[in-house]
């Protein structure tokens, strides 16, 4: 088994349960207070890692997570998955 095969979530679960997992996350956990909290926390961590620690790779990862939480639900809603 290769490393990339282990990272693929569809090798561990079927496609319907994978889509249902993301729909549940964006419908229940990544909206409202918790979505704003996680997006703000990840954005703060991104700024802290880039300014204080000078670790730009980790900063980019936290920024991408914040953007994913902030724009993930509207994109899924526009596509019709949520």
For residue 62, is pLDDT > 80?
yes
Residues 6+ apart with CB under 8 A from 17: none
The encoded tokens of residue 46 equal 């991104």
Stronger pLDDT, 42 or 76, i.e. the higher one: 42
Question: Which residue ranges make up each domain of the chain?
Answer: 35-82
pLDDT at 59: 93
pTM for this entry:
0.65
DSSP states along 26-80: IIIISSHHHHHHHHHHHHHHHHHHHHTS--HHHHHHHHHHHHHHHHHHHHHHHHT
Which position has the token pair 């419908």?
A: 27
Query: Exposed, middle or buried by CB within 10 Å (0-12, 13-18, 19+), for 78?
Result: exposed
pLDDT in tens, 12-60: 899 999 989 888 887 777 778 888 898 899 999 999 999 988 889 999 9
Biggest CA–CA distance in the chain, Å, is: 42
């Amino acid at each position: 088994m290769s490393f990339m095969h282990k990272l693929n979530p569809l090798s561990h679960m079927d496609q319907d349960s994978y889509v249902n997992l993301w729909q549940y996350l964006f419908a229940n956990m990544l909206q409202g207070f918790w979505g704003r909290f996680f997006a703000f926390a990840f954005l703060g961590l991104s700024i802290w890692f880039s300014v204080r620690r000078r670790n730009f790779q980790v900063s980019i990862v936290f920024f991408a997570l914040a953007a994913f939480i902030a724009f993930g639900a509207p994109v899924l809603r526009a596509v019709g998955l949520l």
